[in-house]
A = this chain, B = another copy of it.
């Protein structure tokens, strides 16, 4: 139910504390954290730039989040996605889903990530240690992952 796009890092512990604060009805929280890997297609990475489509990004994340709530009885959800320049080991994305029971929380968190990967207007450009930049290609496996939910 909360969606944010930001350049700053996020603090998973603080986000989780806020997510469940003052509530005693939540039984299960599934949290996904995506991180920048130091290697891509056999090349060592210096950094990565995340570009997005201001306005549409937030609208699309809201649509994805609403769809998850339509499909599952979620008590709460959170999507935080970083933009700008990120380095190996940095956080990229955070997704949380809460429900009374764990299966719903697992499914909804996986759904949010699959949809985000295929629908949210973000693009990654990788810069290798030799300075050469290249836009990341969309992966077939992400389209396949999306197919699970149709």
Binding site for B on A (CB under 8 A): 11-14, 16, 20, 22-39, 88-89, 100-103, 105-106, 109-110, 113, 141, 145
Q: List 23 A-B contacts (CB under 8 A).
A: A11-B13, A12-B12, A12-B31, A16-B33, A20-B33, A20-B35, A23-B89, A24-B37, A24-B39, A24-B88, A25-B38, A26-B35, A27-B34, A27-B37, A28-B33, A28-B34, A30-B32, A32-B106, A101-B141, A103-B110, A106-B106, A106-B109, A106-B113
Identical copies in the complex: 2
The answer on a CB contact under 8 Å between A25 and B13 is no
Nearest chain B CB to A65 CB, angstrom units: 18
Of all A-B residue pairs in the complex, the 5 with the closest CB atoms, nearest first, are: A13-B13, A24-B38, A24-B88, A31-B31, A29-B33
